[in-house]
A = this chain, B = another copy of it.
Amino acid sequence: MDAKILCLGVISAGACSGYELKKTVEEDFHHFYRASYGSIYPALAELERSGLVAGEAIEQAKRPDKKVYRITDAGRAALADALAAEEPAHTARSEFLVLMYFAHLLTPDRAAQVIDTMTAHFERVMLADVDAYERRAEPLTSGQRFAVGFGRTVLNSIVEYLRRERDGLIDELIAERADQPAEDRRLAAAGD
C-alpha cells in the first residue's frame, strides 16, 4: 500500500497537518502500519500536486507555522477507488522469531533475555494502546473497532504464548547444554 492512500484516508476523517497525521498514524495504526516523516511529507506533496488534497498554510503564534491539508472531491473519489482496488495483504517480519528459531546457537541467558525483552515490549504496547483509547473523545467507527480489536487479540495471544512457553524452552536449552559438555561446545564454536 502506498503511503499516499493512508494519508488520504486519515485526512478524509478531518483536515490535519503532516505532523498531526503522523501522530494519528502512530496512535491508530501502530499494530499494523507505520510511516515516518520521510514518507509522509513527500506523499502529502504528491497528493497536493495531483489535486487530491488542498493545503493551507496556517500561521501560528509561539510555534512553527503549519500546513493543514483537507481532502478534495477528487481526493474522496480517488480514496474510494483505491480502497476498492487495494489487495488485502498481511505479513509479519520478526527478527525475534528468527533468533528463537536458532535458539540452540544462543546461550540460555541470551535466549531468556531476548524473550523477556520482547514480552516487556508487547506488554508496554498493550498498555499504551488501552491508554490511548481510553483518553479518546470521539467513539470509534465499526471498522476502527474491528482493526483495534484484531491488534489486541493478536497481542494478547502473543503475550500468553511467551509467558506459557518461556520457562520450558529455557530449561530445554540448559538441558541440551548439559548433554553436550563444555569441551564439545568449544570445538563446535571454534571448528566444523
Interface residues of A (CB under 8 A from B): 1, 5-6, 9, 12, 28-29, 31-34, 70-73, 76-77, 79-80, 83-84, 86-107, 110-111, 114, 117-118, 121, 141-144, 146-147, 149-151, 153-154, 156-158, 160-161, 165, 169, 172-173, 176, 188-192
Contacts and interface: CB of A to CB of B under 8 A. Distances in A.
- Main SS at interface, chain A: helix
A6 B98 contact: yes
Contacts of A93: 32-33, 89-93
Contact of A98 (B1, B77, B117, B192): B1
Given A32-B97, A83-B102, A105-B79, A90 B118 contact: yes
Nearest to A165: B146
A97 B154 contact: no
Nearest to A142: B172
A7 to B, nearest CB: 11
